[in-house]
Amino acid sequence: MNDKIAVIGAGMMGGAIIKSLIKGNYGGKITAVDVVPKKLQELQTLGIEVSSDNHSAAKDADIIFLVVKPGDVGKVLKELAQEIKGKLLISVAATIPLSFLCKNASEAKIARIMPNLCALVQASYTAYCCSENVTPQDKEKIKILLDMMGVCEEVDEKYMDAITAVSGSGPGYMSIIVEALTYAGLKVGLPRNIALKAAAQTVMGTGKLIVELNEDPAKIKDMTTTPGGTTIEAIYQIEQSQIRPAMIRAIEEATKKSQLIREKLSLA
């Protein structure tokens, strides 16, 4: 696959997507566009074309990733109405529904995706849904691109707010867990570098165990717990900390926030 790609908005997520495509040895030209020149500097050193001109980058491209903040999506689509006609537009913006994208880019073929920052190391979970005019061939291309970012799956759009809350923002919560585990290591006398490495690798490895063995987390928990041992001692304390309801409340509120942002942007 060697379609020309333009990434409009080369911030945190746009940069991560570009780096995943580079790591995936993507065969086509990639152009990064941003209004902030500093955001483009590092990408330029990686051999990526950079530009501050949305119009010419979108005109030259076959596939356009839209990676600006939700509030900027409408404005950018208006600007690029001519250039994106008939092309594949992949919107990464949280909360922005296909209905809004289709209304404002009626002649484009549109995918709405929700990756996470783990795309930076090709370990994103990316959910996607598509407008009706996206062909099976387009979907194959979308899948090839998203597979370079990690794993992907097509979902019903009604799940996108919840997925944004669970996995889109997920690296933020998992970092709190790693941080807490690191602090715990410090408390029991581990040097900081050892505590951090042990904590991060354990979180990563546990995810891998669950995914690669297709195992229930409860089973993994049981597999680490011997009668009268150290793990059950810690689990007894964790279960008193209300970590489960805290996580459930957090995700529920984050999901509601997506709906609120959409209402605020008058897109609901």
Ligand X SMILES: NC(=O)c1ccc[n+]([C@@H]2O[C@H](COP(=O)([O-])OP(=O)(O)OC[C@H]3O[C@@H](n4cnc5c(N)ncnc54)[C@H](OP(=O)(O)O)[C@@H]3O)[C@@H](O)[C@H]2O)c1
Separation of alpha carbons 258 and 217, rounded Å: 28
Compare residues 198 and 265 and give the one whose CB is closer to ligand X: 265
Nearest of 87, 94, 95 to residue 64 by alpha carbon = 87
The nearest distance, CB 72 to ligand X, in angstroms, is 4
Separation of alpha carbons 113 and 126, rounded Å: 7
Strand runs (DSSP E) across 155-250, as ranges? none
Residue 66 CB neighbour total at 10 angstroms: 29
The nearest distance, CB 184 to ligand X, in angstroms, is 26
Compare residues 76 and 84 and give the one whose CB is closer to ligand X: 76
Single out the residue of 5, 6, 14, 255 in contact with ligand X (rule: CB under 6 A): 14
Strand runs (DSSP E) across the chain, as ranges? 5-8, 30-33, 49-51, 63-66, 88-91, 109-114, 124-130, 150-154
The nearest distance, CB 70 to ligand X, in angstroms, is 5
| Nearest residue to ligand X on Cβ basis | 11
Q: Is 149 in the site for ligand X (CB under 6 A)?
A: no
Query: HSE-up of 254 (CA within 13 Å, CB side)?
Result: 20
Q: Is 246 in the site for ligand X (CB under 6 A)?
A: no
Q: Is 129 in the site for ligand X (CB under 6 A)?
A: no
Spatial neighbors of 259 by CB under 8 A, at least 6 apart, are 95, 161, 268
Compare residues 35 and 232 and give the one whose CB is closer to ligand X: 35
The nearest distance, CB 96 to ligand X, in angstroms, is 7
Residues 20-49 that bind ligand X (CB under 6 A): 33-36, 39
Compare residues 28 and 71 and give the one whose CB is closer to ligand X: 71
Single out the residue of 7, 13, 90, 111 in contact with ligand X (rule: CB under 6 A): 13
| 8 Å CB contact between 128 and 155 | yes
Contact set with ligand X (CB under 6 A):
8-9, 11-14, 33-36, 39, 54, 67-70, 72, 76, 92-94, 114-117, 168
